[in-house]
Amino acid sequence: MNIAFIGVGNVGAPLADRLQKLGHQVAIAARDSQSKSVKEALARNPALVVQSPIAAVSSADIVFLATPFNVVESALSNLNSALDGKVLVDCTNPVGANLTHGLESKISGSETIQQLVPNTLVVKAFTIYGFENFEDNTYPGYGDLKPAMLIAGSDRNAKDLVAELCRQLAWEPIDTGNLAMSLHLEHMTLLWINMARVQGRGAGFVWAMLQR
Ligand SMILES: NC(=O)c1ccc[n+]([C@@H]2O[C@H](COP(=O)([O-])OP(=O)(O)OC[C@H]3O[C@@H](n4cnc5c(N)ncnc54)[C@H](OP(=O)(O)O)[C@@H]3O)[C@@H](O)[C@H]2O)c1
């Protein structure tokens, strides 16, 4: 699959690296090919291709958005037609002061992104944990139980595609419903950050799903 990354910092770089090593063609949609994050992503994995945002997105089947939430509008500007009909994996989180929801819990960040790119199939995924778990999500000793990746989106085929990438990355994808469910995922993120980074539990934990 051809995959483009808008944003290759803490979150984008390990995902890009691992997806490339799984055999995907992975391009960095770089506004500045010399930026620190691009150089570090390339140092981690020289097989990543660096392209202009429009070139990377135009040739991608699926695009990951992994920038700070407050820059998504500028990151997506001028890409609208290139993104039409494509799957956009929203890895961003709107985080406000004192670990509150950045949009005052009135609407999810993913839905506001969907409004920016109405012809794109937005799926929220790869958000509910710290980046450490995107680098390494192995949790030995739990048998067949895999760490859960909760996803949300309103298009079935787009979600199936993202779920397949989750599986390839050794996550158990869990479909939480349509894109409006992203608001709850964004609150889960705040919970994880609070537990891991504020209360001091550390980054080495994830959720799993037991069902009967
Ligand atoms: N950190 C975590 O543990 C974590 C976990 C889950 C989700 N998230 C969410 O994931 C997103 C990324 O977080 P991060 O920690 O990876 O951030 P980061 O390390 O600061 O990386 C941000 C990336 O976005 C790029 N960028 C910044 N402004 C841009 C713009 N206007 N247009 C295009 N690209 C731009 C940066 O490129 P340059 O180097 O060129 O500036 C960099 O590659 C955030 O929304 C965050 O809430 C973070």
* Residue-wise pLDDT tens digits, 14-59: 999 999 999 999 999 999 999 999 999 999 999 999 999 999 999 9
Atom of ligand 1 nearest to the CA of 32: 40
Opening angle at CA 187, ends 63 and 14, nearest 5 = 35
Which sequence spans correspond to the domains of the chain? Answer: 2-198
Ligand 1: which of 37, 51, 136, 189 to mutate, judged by most atoms within 8 Å of the beta carbon?
A: 37
Q: Contact 14/41 with Cβ under 8 angstroms?
A: no
Q: Contact 5/16 with Cβ under 8 angstroms?
A: yes
Query: Could you tell me the distance, in angstroms and rounded to a whole number, from the CA of residue 38 to the centre of ligand 1?
Result: 11
Q: Contact 72/148 with Cβ under 8 angstroms?
A: no
Q: Is the pLDDT assigned to residue 80 strictly greater than 90? A: no
Q: How far is CA 25 from the centre of its chain?
A: 17
Q: Which H helix or E strand runs over 3?
A: strand 2-6
64 pLDDT tier (thresholds 50, 70, 90):
very high
Q: Is the CB of 96 under 6 A from ligand 1?
A: no
Q: How far is CA 125 from the centre of its chain?
A: 5
pLDDT-above-90 percentage for the chain: 99
Specify the CATH class of 2-198 in words: alpha beta
Query: Could you tell me the distance, in angstroms and rounded to a whole number, from the CA of residue 4 to the centre of ligand 1?
Result: 14
Of 195, 93, 172, 18, nearest in space to 204 by CA:
195
The model's pTM is: 0.98
- With 0-12 CB in 10 A as exposed, 13-18 as middle and 19+ as buried, what is 47? exposed
Residue 126 tokens read as 């790869």
Residues 9, 92: Cα–Cα separation, whole Å: 12
Residue 67 tokens read as 């920038």
pLDDT, tens digit, 9 for 90 and up, residues 155-175: 999 999 999 999 999 999 999
Which pLDDT score, from 0 to 100, does residue 211 have? 95
pLDDT, tens digit, 9 for 90 and up, residues 110-132: 999 999 999 999 999 999 999 99
Measured by CA distance, the residue closest to atom 9 of ligand 1 is: 92
134 pLDDT tier (thresholds 50, 70, 90):
very high
202 pLDDT tier (thresholds 50, 70, 90):
very high
Q: Contact 153/162 with Cβ under 8 angstroms?
A: yes
Phi, psi of 103 (to 5 degrees): -115, 30
